[in-house]
Amino acid sequence: MISQTAPPLGKRFKTSQFQLLLADSLTIFWGDWLDLRVRVAQIIASGLISPLVYILAFGLGLGSSIKPGAGISGSYSNYLEFILPGMVALSSMTISFAGTTFSICGERLFTKTFEEMLLVPIHPLALHIGKMLAGVVRGLMTSLSVIVVAVLLTGNWNFLNPLFLLLLVLNCAVFAGLGVIVGLSVRSLEAVGLCNNFVIVPMSFLGATFFDPSTLPVALQFVVYLLPLSYASIGLRAAAHLSLSQFPWYTIPVLLGMAIALSLWGGYKFAHQQD
């Protein structure tokens, strides 16, 4: 007779806790998804305008005067190819952050439904993860439409390879997590505008989207590499145009570490939130 040994009690307890955390997170996400699914076209259109303007102005306009080997690496045929992965990173950052922030602010400051969610017997980390997942979906909706534009303009199907999509999801998770924290912290929509002007807008131009950080002085490189968008832009550009041997693998653990750190911070904020 073959005896079956039951898993240790501690292991079973941890597994059940993880399953409960996952189920609670998906429950919070599903509540937001019911609202998102009726506004898919609006979300995609709102986040597609800025990348298209940048593509026309910088990629097709200014980019015609920037040649490979002069400002950008010779690995790219033209400047448009160089900035398209950055446009994907930029669109995912903008919508993941702004959509999540305004969603939470609306619940806290206007509909006054946020207090009800805080009373639900759900782990604070599950609240953060659920809201973050909704932000990730918002970012993917827009960035996937930019990817379609990039494939049509370049014919490069590497924009859909698994490594590219993994980095895209991590970038959405980072800025959706940041959006959750800002949404929990601000006291008015004017404060959201200040955060956008002092954090998101500068990062849009300094986050290695339009330039190669290696061409900058060391002091400026230090600033650029402090920004999470820089790692997303560098990684997405390499995933789309370079071989695996040239891929900067450090970008994945950096973005993953930032997403985890923001999740822990967000869980703490939810646990101590008073509205």
How many Å apart are CA 144 and CA 156, to the nearest integer? 14
How many Å apart are CA 92 and CA 41, to the nearest integer? 16
- To the nearest whole number, what is the mean pLDDT of the chain? 83
Count of CB atoms situated within 10 Å of the CB of 221: 15
Q: What is the pLDDT of residues 26-76, one digit of tens each?
A: 888 888 888 888 888 877 777 777 788 877 777 666 666 666 555 666 567
Range with lowest mean pLDDT among 26-35, 52-61, 79-88, 194-203: 52-61
Q: What is the pLDDT of residues 131-157, one digit of tens each?
A: 999 999 999 988 888 898 888 888 888
Q: For residue 9, what pLDDT band results from cuts at 50, 70 and 90?
A: very low
Give SS3 for 68. strand
Tokens of 59: 């990629």
Provide the residue ranges of all domains of the chain, joining segments of one domain with +: 19-62+72-271
What 8-state DSSP symbol labels residue 196?
I
